[in-house]
């Protein structure tokens, strides 16, 4: 009840209230938020943990754990540089990792520049004068909800930073907290950078592996053989098609000199690889015909080109091998069929049939042609005196000379009719000078016959009578759907046959229409008006005796 003692007690209570309150608050913080007192021990433990980590997520998790146990911020972010996007990407750490979208910061932004240029942490409540400088970043910084940014710097390069929200206790960050964060950042920055680079290398390696697998699949899928060699001419790639084409397992040739390829291909391939490697010039469409032990004769086409690195330095040779064996065999088969076909059908008709098989149908069209008929005089009497085999032999020699003369002028040999040959000009392909061509063929044929007769016995000397006319005829395929013959039907064809019948041995008779077209080029004699079977009136007929010496 002593007023003096009561006054002293109240005074003491006032003086001791704040210290007691602060001590009690720290006790509550330690009990409920477990704030460690010894930051040095925490850093030593943290340093030991980091030495065993290369996984970025594990490193960030350990950093987040240390920050959580030491300071209890209400949120944590790690903003790390992304090499592919060339910016800083903020990812939440701790319990909120999946709750927020990433936040990006420009590499040349104000916040990144400030953290690059300063060693200390950026504590926003203590750096209010920076608000204007960082105004462009406020939206993104606000998304983080952070009040402190701790730079992670390695070799004077800003790898990123940690962004921490306010303490859950509501207490401000003290100077020893900031010192702890700076020390923590110094220890973790190198580990974070190494882990980040390791993750980047691992991603790149995965991409390279995927690309290699894709290329392997591509090389395995293509039909051409693909072989690559290094600077020592050792095989570095030998795809599945190359195995099949050369009949060599890849494991027997990869790593070995290309000279060990199946003989005799090996020596030739080694020479070509050396040539391409030293000259830098590709070798294209080089064909070889080696004989392989299991496949026999094969046809191969090789394309070789220098294999260069990114600095345009030759590091080997790429060889693409195409197997032409089946193609060449098919071409040979087609060639044999064509040659056989041409023995029975005129080459011009064969060409037309092969180039346009859809045109092979019954029917014809009316057009102008020159009809050529050559009939051997006196063959019946010749046959009565000789054996059939000898007759065929002599006949074939003469018909061969006739055929050669007709084909030389690009005439179409229609058919052989016993001892006669029929040809047409201007069909199936148009010829501007078809009548002159027929006359020239007749003159060449008679000249060839005369030369032939100088080399054989008199009994083997046969003579042709020739008739040539020009006019309209129906030209096309005659016969049935199974067997057809390309021929011409019309009065001009019959007329040429009649002229050959009345021609003397070695004589060339032509109609007046033929004469009018070739009179400037050839010497002729007027025979007269000759009655022709099938015509009501005699027809004027001319004999061609030779070429004019001048005038064409």
Kindly report, residue by residue over 226-237, the tens digit of the pLDDT.
889 998 889 998
Bridging pattern class, strands 225-230 and 314-323: antiparallel
DSSP string over 282-313: -EEEEEE--EETTTEE--EEEEEEEEE-TTS-
pLDDT tier at 250 (50, 70, 90 boundaries)?
Answer: confident
How many whole angstroms separate alpha carbon 323 and alpha carbon 300? 5
Residue 154 has pLDDT above 90, yes or no: no
pLDDT at 96: 55
Stretch (H or E) spanning 322: strand 314-323
Q: What digits encode the pLDDT tens for the residues 84-111? A: 889 999 888 865 555 567 888 999 988 8
Decide: helix, strand or coil at residue 111.
helix
Tell me the CA distances in angstroms from 536 to 323, 499, 512, 513, 539, one per residue in order.
Answer: 68, 16, 16, 18, 9
Q: What are the backbone angles phi and psi of residue 163, rounded to the nearest 5°?
A: -120, 120
CA torsion, ordered 294, 295, 301, 304, to nearest 10 deg: -10
For the chain, percent helix, then strand, then coil, each to nearest 5?
A: 45, 25, 25
pLDDT at 380: 74
- Residue 535 CA, distance from chain mean position: 68
Identify the CATH number of the domain defined by range 364-547: 3.30.70.1230
User: What does the mean pLDDT of the chain come to?
Assistant: 83
Closest of 102, 74, 67, 99 to residue 88, by C-alpha: 102
Domain 223-327 sits in CATH 3.30.450.20? yes
pLDDT at 34: 44
Residue 31 has pLDDT above 80, yes or no: no
pLDDT tier at 533 (50, 70, 90 boundaries)?
Answer: confident
How many whole angstroms separate alpha carbon 23 and alpha carbon 17? 10
CB 29 within 8 A of CB 169: yes
CB 306 within 8 A of CB 277: yes
Interval 242-254 mean pLDDT:
87
Residue 524 has pLDDT above 60, yes or no: yes
Q: How many CA atoms lie within 13 A of 458 on its CB side?
A: 0
| Continuous H helices in 293-365 | 325-342, 347-355
Residue 2 has pLDDT above 90, yes or no: no
How many whole angstroms separate alpha carbon 196 and alpha carbon 330? 61
- The 10 Å Cβ neighbour count of residue 186 is 16
- Residue 536 CA, distance from chain mean position: 71
**Residues whose CB is less than 8 angstroms from the CB of residue 390 and which lie 6 or more positions away in sequence, other chains included:** none
**Domain spans of the chain?**
1-31, 34-200, 223-327, 364-547
pLDDT tier at 332 (50, 70, 90 boundaries)?
Answer: confident
Token pair listed for 262: 């199946």
Q: What digits encode the pLDDT tens for the residues 341-400? A: 666 555 666 676 666 655 556 677 899 999 999 999 888 778 778 888 989 999 999 999
Task: Examine domains 34-200 and 223-327 and report if their fold is the same.
Answer: yes
Token pair listed for 155: 């070799």
Q: Which of 45-59, 276-290, 361-375, 526-540 is predicted with the least confidence, judged by mean pLDDT? A: 45-59
> Which CATH class name applies to 34-200?
alpha beta
Q: What digits encode the pLDDT tens for the residues 424-464? A: 999 888 899 999 999 999 999 999 999 999 999 988 899 99
Token pair listed for 351: 């060409």
pLDDT at 18: 57
Closest of 522, 523, 515, 521 to residue 539, by C-alpha: 515
Decide: helix, strand or coil at residue 471.
strand
Per mean pLDDT, which of 9-13, 21-25, 119-123 is the most reliable? 119-123
pLDDT at 22: 56
CB 508 within 8 A of CB 405: no
Decide: helix, strand or coil at residue 190.
helix
Decide: helix, strand or coil at residue 247.
coil
How many whole angstroms separate alpha carbon 189 and alpha carbon 192? 5
CB 493 within 8 A of CB 528: no
CB 527 within 8 A of CB 485: no
**Residues whose CB is less than 8 angstroms from the CB of residue 51 and which lie 6 or more positions away in sequence, other chains included:** none
Token pair listed for 421: 């040959």
pLDDT tier at 33 (50, 70, 90 boundaries)?
Answer: very low
The burial class, CB within 10 Å (0-12 / 13-18 / 19+), for 16 is: exposed
Closest of 516, 542, 544, 538 to residue 527, by C-alpha: 542
Token pair listed for 67: 């920050």
């Amino acid at each position: 009840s002593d007023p003096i003692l009561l006054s002293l007690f109240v005074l003491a209570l006032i003086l001791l209230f704040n210290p007691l309150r602060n001590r009690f608050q720290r006790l509550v913080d330690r009990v409920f938020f477990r704030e460690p007192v010894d930051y040095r021990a925490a850093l030593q433990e943290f340093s030991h943990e980091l030495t065993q980590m290369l996984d970025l997520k594990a490193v960030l998790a350990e950093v987040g754990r240390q920050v959580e146990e030491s300071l209890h911020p209400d949120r944590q972010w790690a903003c790390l540089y992304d090499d592919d996007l060339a910016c800083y990407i903020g990812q939440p750490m701790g319990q909120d990792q999946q709750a927020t979208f990433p936040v990006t910061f420009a590499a040349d932004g104000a916040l990144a520049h400030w953290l690059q240029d300063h060693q200390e942490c950026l504590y926003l409540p203590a750096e209010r004068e920076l608000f204007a400088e960082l105004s462009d970043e406020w939206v993104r910084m606000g998304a983080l909800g952070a009040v402190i940014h701790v730079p992670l710097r390695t070799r004077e390069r800003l790898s990123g930073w940690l962004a921490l929200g306010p303490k859950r206790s509501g207490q401000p960050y003290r100077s020893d907290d900031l010192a702890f964060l700076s020390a923590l950042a110094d220890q973790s920055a190198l580990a974070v950078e190494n882990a980040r680079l390791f993750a980047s290398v691992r991603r790149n390696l995965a991409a390279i592996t995927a690309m290699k697998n894709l290329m392997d699949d591509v090389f395995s899928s293509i039909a051409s053989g693909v072989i690559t060699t290094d600077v020592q001419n050792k095989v570095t790639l030998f795809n599945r098609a190359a195995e099949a084409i050369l009949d060599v397992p890849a494991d027997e040739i990869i790593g070995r000199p290309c000279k060990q390829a199946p003989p005799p291909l090996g020596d030739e391939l080694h020479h070509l690889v050396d040539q391409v490697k030293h000259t830098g010039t590709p070798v294209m469409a080089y064909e070889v015909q080696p004989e392989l032990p299991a496949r026999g004769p094969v046809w191969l086409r090789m394309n070789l080109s220098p294999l260069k690195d990114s600095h345009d330095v030759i590091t080997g040779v790429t060889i693409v091998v195409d197997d032409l064996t089946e193609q060449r065999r098919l071409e040979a088969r087609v060639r044999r069929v064509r040659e056989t076909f041409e023995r029975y059908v005129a080459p011009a008709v064969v060409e037309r049939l092969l180039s346009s098989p859809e045109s092979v149908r019954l029917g014809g069209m009316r057009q102008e042609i020159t009809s050529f008929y050559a009939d051997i005089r006196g063959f019946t009497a010749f046959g009565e005196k000789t054996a059939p085999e000898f007759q065929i032999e002599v006949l074939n020699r003469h018909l061969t000379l006739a055929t050669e003369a007709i084909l030389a002028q690009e005439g179409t040999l229609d058919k052989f009719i016993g001892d006669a040959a029929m040809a047409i000009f201007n069909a199936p392909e148009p010829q501007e000078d078809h009548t002159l061509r027929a006359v020239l063929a007749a003159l060449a044929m008679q000249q060839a016959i005369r030369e032939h007769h100088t080399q054989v016995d008199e009994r083997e000397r046969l003579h042709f009578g020739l008739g040539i006319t020009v006019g309209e005829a129906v030209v096309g395929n005659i016969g049935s759907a199974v067997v057809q013959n390309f021929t011409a039907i019309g009065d001009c064809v019959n007329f040429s046959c009649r002229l050959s019948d009345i021609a003397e041995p070695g004589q060339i008779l032509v109609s007046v229409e033929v004469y009018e077209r070739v009179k400037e080029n050839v010497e002729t004699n007027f025979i007269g008006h000759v009655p022709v079977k099938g015509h009501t009136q005699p027809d004027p007929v001319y004999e061609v005796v030779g070429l004019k010496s001048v005038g064409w």
